[in-house]
Amino acid sequence: MKQLKGRDLLGTADLNPQEITDILQLARQLKNQELEIKCNLVLGLLFYKASTRTRVSFSVAMYKLGGQVIDLNPSVTQVGRGEPIEDTARVLDRYLDILAIRTFAQADLETFANYAEIPVINALTDLEHPCQILADLMTVQECCGSLQGHTLTYLGDGNNMAHSLLLGGALTGLNVRIAAPKGYEPQPEIVKQAKEIAGDQSEIIVTQDAIAAVEGAQVVYTDVWASMGQEDSADQRIPIFQPYQVNQQLLAHADPEAIVLHCLPAHRGEEITAEAIESERSRVWDQAENRMHAQQALMASLLGLV
C-alpha cells in the first residue's frame, strides 16, 4: 500500500476502489490480531467540533501503533484566537507526523492540507465524514459478507454522512438509496459524482419516499436530523423529518435479515426509536468499534508503515 504513503484523506473519493479494499483488509487483520504494526510517530487532533468516537478511536488506534497523540483543542491553542490556518498548518507540519482535523468548512480543511506536507485526515466536515464510511463499509462487509450487490438505505438529512455514503457506496459497488425530505437532499454535485463513479456497477438513488427506499434493503442507516452547527433549526426539523424515522414499522419493509446502522450519537425518539437501536438488527456498537480498526489501518497506510 505504498501508494498511500504521504497522502491526505480529505474526502471519500480521494481513495480508489482498490485502496478502500486494501484498507478494509488491513483493518480486518488488525482487528483479528493477525499482524502487528509498530511506529514511534505523533498524531495531532485538531477538533473545532465535539467528538467522542472519532477522538477516542483515533487516539487508541495511534496508541496501538505505538505512537503518541496530542489534543490540539482550539480553546487551548492559538487557533481559537485567530492565528491563520496557513501559519498553524506550517508550524504543526514541523512537529507532527499526521494530523486529523474536524471542522466546519471543507475549504478550511483543504487549506490545512495545502500548507502541511504531512498527511491530513478529514475527521468530519460539513461536507463529508470519510473515516466513518471506512468503518461503515467494514461493518457491512462483516454482516453481509460483501458490499457488491447489497443495498444500503440512508434515511434523513442529506448531510455529510449522506455524501460520504453515496461516494463510498459508489466506489465499492454497494447500492445506496438516500431518502430525504424536500429541501434537505444531498448536494447535487455529490450525487452526480457518485453516479459517475458508480457507472453501471451500483445503483445510486435519491428519493423523498422513505418506504420505497427501504424496500428490500439489507442495511438501514440513519443520522441525526440536525448536525453540529445546525442546533438552531433542530426543533423546526422534527416534523419535517418524522416520516424518515427508523422504527419497527419502516424496518418491516426492509430485507428480513436487514441490519441497522447509525454513526452515533443517536437521538432516540427522533431519527431512530429506542426499540430499533436496541433491537437484534442493530449493529451500531460493532460499527463504532470498527472506527478504531479502520483508522488504525488508514493511519498505517498514510504513514507508509505497510
Q: Rounded to whole angstroms, how far apart are CA atoms 47 and 67?
A: 19
Q: Is 94 a catalytic residue?
A: no
Q: Is 28 a catalytic residue?
A: no
Residue list 53-72, contact with ligand CP (CB under 6 A): 53-54
Nearer to ligand CP, 66 or 265 (CB): 265
Backbone angles phi, psi at 169, to 5 degrees: -65, -45
- Return the one option of ligand NVA, ligand CP, none that residue 52 interacts with (CB less than 5 to 8 A, by type): ligand CP
Residues that bind ligand NVA (CB under 6 A): 124, 159-161, 223-224, 227-228, 263
Q: How many residues does the chain have?
A: 306
**Options 8, 55, 126, 132, the catalytic residue:** 132
- The least distance separating ligand NVA from the CB of residue 91, rounded to whole angstroms, comes to 28
Rg of the chain taking only CA atoms, in angstroms:
19
Nearer to ligand NVA, 208 or 230 (CB): 230
Residue list 32-51, contact with ligand CP (CB under 6 A): 51
Burial of 77 (0-12, 13-18, 19+ CB in 10 A): middle
- Return the one option of ligand NVA, ligand CP, none that residue 164 interacts with (CB less than 5 to 8 A, by type): none
Q: Is 103 in the site for ligand CP (CB under 6 A)?
A: no
CA angle 23, 26, 30 (to 5 degrees): 135
Q: Rounded to whole angstroms, how far apart are CA atoms 50 and 47?
A: 7
Nearer to ligand CP, 52 or 146 (CB): 52
Q: Is 53 a catalytic residue?
A: no
- Asked if residue 40 lies in contact with residue 194, where contact means CB atoms within 8 angstroms, the answer is no
Q: Is 132 a catalytic residue?
A: yes
Nearer to ligand CP, 3 or 52 (CB): 52
**Options 102, 150, 163, 293, the catalytic residue:** 102
Strands (E), the chain: 42-47, 68-71, 98-102, 120-122, 151-155, 175-179, 204-207, 219-222, 259-262
Q: Is 293 a catalytic residue?
A: no
Nearer to ligand CP, 92 or 263 (CB): 263
Q: Is 159 in the site for ligand CP (CB under 6 A)?
A: no
**Options 163, 263, 281, 283, the catalytic residue:** 263
Backbone angles phi, psi at 70, to 5 degrees: -120, 125
Return all residues near 82 (Cβ < 8 A) that are at least 6 apart.
none
Residue in 246, 245, 306, 305 with CA at minimum distance from that of residue 40: 305
- The least distance separating ligand NVA from the CB of residue 49, rounded to whole angstroms, comes to 7
Laid out side by side, the sheet with 42-47 consists of 68-71, 42-47, 98-102, 120-122
Q: Is 263 a catalytic residue?
A: yes
> Which sequence positions are flagged as catalytic?
102, 129, 132, 223, 263, 291
Residues that bind ligand CP (CB under 6 A): 51-54, 124, 132, 263-265
